[in-house]
Structure 1
Amino acid sequence: MFPFRTSLAALLLALAIPGEARDYRYSDAHLHYVDFFQESDGMQALLQAMDKGGIDHVMISGIPVAKKWHEDEPKRPRYYAGDDAGAYWYSATDVLVAAAVKQLPDQQRKRFHPFLSGFNPNDKNSDAHIRRMLELDPGLWQGIGEVFTRHDDLTALIDGDTPRANNEAMSRIYHLAAEYDLPVLLHSNITSKRERNPLFLQEIEEPLRNHPHVRFIWAHAGSSMEIHRHQTKLDFLLPTLERLLADYPNLYIDLSWSVLEPYLLDADGKPDRRWLALVERHPERFMLGSDVVGRFDGLGDYLSTYRPFLDALPEPVAHKVARDNFLAVLPRKPGNAAAQ
């Protein structure tokens, strides 16, 4: 999730780059309407932030878990990492998202692309639950996720076993996603805080190989700020992505905030040439996301921090990354395949 404080240095750099300015319109490919307490600034605040930030479209989802306020804690935590209390799977998050989207007039509603997230990825009943939700609102849901599997310290706080992107319960969900032509946004860390190797790579690669008809969006390209706190930078991330993107045409990369630094931009705030080359080789496979959680102040500022990287790309590619690639990964027909 996006930290409480945006990188001010990156923001100032983005606003100070000289030269001919490009006019970007954005799609936010990773936005949570609620926070870990299932609370939100509300749809009107989100719309105002979108209009101010030049954001035409958003992927909108809930948060699949709720943080517990433990009986022994005198002060309510502000974030899932605020104390040691656990979290639990919370299906009503999708009800909140659906209600917020349905209240909009048709013209505004077209800007929102709801993803289902309120299910337990360890439960082999979850595909049946997702199917019921799809049938309750035919055509409303345009994707599945963000699915929490390997997710830093949050994984240890969630009640139950560790979720994996390659378990049997998720395999059943992938089959359903293919049936309904829905993309799947997966949070699956590529490694742990301490291992300097792609420890969990198999958990994302197996679904890519075994479910070629599913479009997978890999949240944060498998990175996280918590990993960076311990390891600074994963030297193996770029070569791993180069291979995966070449091998699996169903893989798409969400570049939301933990990828911006230290990968897309170097320590001096300059675009990394190797990442630019990767995006240019696969110009339709990358998208931007804010990963905000229920709070929408400065939403456009989060996306504008990518301007130095976008400006270094060929202009047609930059516009695809900023806006069009997310829209292209959505269901190919109005509604979804099973609802036709």
Structure 2
Amino acid sequence: MPPFRSALCLLAALAVLPAQARDYSYTDAHLHYVDFFQETDGMTELLKQMDEHNIRHAMISGVPVAKKWHENEPRRPRYYAGDDAGAYWFSATDYIVAHALEKLDEKQRSRFHPFLSGFNPNDKNSDEHLRRLLETYPGMWQGIGEVFTRHDDLTALTNSEVPRANSEAMDRIYYLAAEYDLPVMIHSNITSKRERNPLYLPELEESLRDHPQVRFIWAHAGTSKEIHRHQEKLTFLFDEVERLLGLYPNLYIDLSWTMLEPYLLDSEGKPDPRWLQLVERFPDRFMIGSDVVGKFGSLGEYMSGFDVFLDALPETVAHKVAGSNFLAILPRQSQDN
């Protein structure tokens, strides 16, 4: 075979080879150590799954409510929406997380970034409750959240008034967060199940505006599985996220699972060009998470599910979103350690 034809054949062969796969070192920016019954697979299983799937770091929190098994229900529910029984604010969730972390050695513990979540966001005493926990476990807590405010049917099931991101009680939490340099992860639905407009967004935006010194992580960018059941896809979400990121440098977006589809990936599983461009425009403001609740067998699947989207980003940006962006907004003392 003539030399030029050999070279052409080699080039053709190289052209059809798949691009080299990227290896991501993940940080799970949204992980609940317990479920809605305050039960867990345990730290041994969590560490096993993290090691097997190259998850080097994880935000870890409890769940701020406990689902009740009502006297009139013959079968124990498996999820908060399993029946009509209520849920109640459960402050002991933070102690469960703290106890699990205290049993780890220093190297293992350094992989976890615990957030305080066990408080009632309608109670103006809650900031003092969190202050006591910060003093009881000095140096442990690295953030606050996931705070449950507007949260689908869970809001209706929880035994209290409807919590808002901009309540007086939450204002006190934000001042505490600023005092201790703690980021706040907040679940605040952008709308209800049926309103096709950003009905509840002013509650979050007012907080962003009034507390510029607080780093806010918006869980799922205000979306939820329950909203998608009724509306499939929020047509106004992209424009609102883009607007907020441009206005508020203290806003960060958690892209955990309800954001993957139908936003980051289209119906054919291909990355959405608009979301890719937005992440490139704000490369330090996005992070990914599993949002698992006490069960860790699917942890690797959830995290690697973002790879298609990450692979479509510039490599340096992809690694930030996959790993370092969350770590960068933790308290400076935590980063130094």
**Which TM bucket (shorter chain)?**
over 0.9
Q: 1:115 aligns to what SS in structure 2?
A: strand
Structure 1 residue 256: Cα displacement: 0.2
The match for 2:232 is 232
Match in the other structure for 2:165:
165
**In 2, Cα distance between equivalents of 1:188 and 1:88:** 18
CA contact (8 A) 1:139 1:335 kept: no
| Counterpart in the other structure of 1:53 | 53
Deviation at residue 335 of structure 1 after TM alignment:
8.7
- Equivalent position SS for 1:194: coil
In the alignment, the residues of structure 2 paired with residue 242 and residue 143 of structure 1 have an alpha-carbon distance, to the nearest angstrom, of 25
Say whether the 8 Å CA contact 2:144–2:177 is kept in structure 1. Answer: yes
Higher relative contact order (CA 8 A, sep 6+): 1
What is the distance in 2 between the residues matched to 1:275 and 1:220?
14
Maintained 8 Å contact 2:174/2:211: yes
- Residues of 2 paired with 1:280 and 1:54: CA distance? 24
**In the alignment, is the contact (CA less than 8 A) between 1:138 and 1:335 conserved in 2?**
no
Moved over 6 A (4+): none
SS at match of 2:333: coil
Alignment correspondent of 1:255: 255
How far did 1:298 drift? 2.3
State the 1:322 CA deviation. 0.2
Counterpart in the other structure of 1:124: 124
In structure 2, stretches of 5+ residues that fail to align are: 1-16
Question: May I ask how many residue pairs the two structures share in their alignment?
Answer: 320
Q: How many angstroms apart in 1 are the aligned matches of 2:301 and 2:83?
A: 29
Give the percent of matched residue pairs that are identical in Structure 1 and Structure 2.
73
Residues 99-178 of structure 1 aligned to structure 2 (within 5 Å):
99-178=99-178
Deviation readout 1:232-254 (Å, 9 max, x if unpaired) = 10010000011100000000000
How far apart, in 2, do the equivalents of 1:182 and 1:96 lie?
Answer: 20
Counterpart position of 2:215: 215
The answer to whether residue 37 in structure 2 is matched with residue 41 in structure 1 is no
SS of the aligned residue for 1:31 comes to coil
What's the TM-score, normalizing by structure 1?
A: 0.93
Distance in 2 separating the partners of 1:332 and 1:221: 25
- Which residue number corresponds to residue 7 of structure 1? none
**Paired residue type of 1:206:** E
In the alignment, structure 1 segments of 5+ residues that lack a partner are 1-16
Residues 99-144 of structure 1: CA deviation (Å, up to 9, x unaligned): 0011000011000000000000000000000000000011100000
Distance of 1:333 and 1:271 partners within structure 2: 36
Task: Tell me how far apart the structure 2 counterparts of residues 298 and 90 of structure 1 sit (CA, whole Å).
Answer: 25
TM-score calculated relative to the size of structure 2? 0.94
Partner of 2:294: 294
2:245 maps to which residue? 245
Q: Which has the larger radius of gyration?
A: 2
**Deviation readout 1:36-77 (Å, 9 max, x if unpaired):** 000000000000000011100000000000000000001000
1:26 equivalent in structure 2: 26
Q: Are the counterparts in 2 of residues 166 and 204 from structure 1 also a CA contact under 8 Å?
A: yes
The 2-side partners of 1:333 and 1:36 are apart by 31
- Which residue does 1:199 correspond to in 2? 199
Residue of structure 2 equivalent to 1:333: 333
Deviation at 1:98, TM superposition (A): 0.2
Aligned to 1:10: none
CA distance in 1 between partners of 2:288 and 2:105 (Å): 26
Contact 2:60–2:113 (CA<8 Å) still a contact in 1? yes
Matched to 2:266, the amino acid is D
Residue 20 of structure 1: how far off its partner (Å): 1.5
Over the residues paired in the alignment, what is the CA RMSD in angstroms? 1.1
CA contact (8 A) 1:140 1:335 kept: no
Amino acid at match of 1:277: Q
* Residue equivalent to 2:277: 277
Alignment match, 1:303:
303
The whole-number CA distance in structure 2 between the counterparts of 1:194 and 1:159 is 23
C-alpha contact (below 8 Å) 1:142/1:335 kept by paired residues: no
Question: Counterpart in 2 of 1:182?
Answer: 182
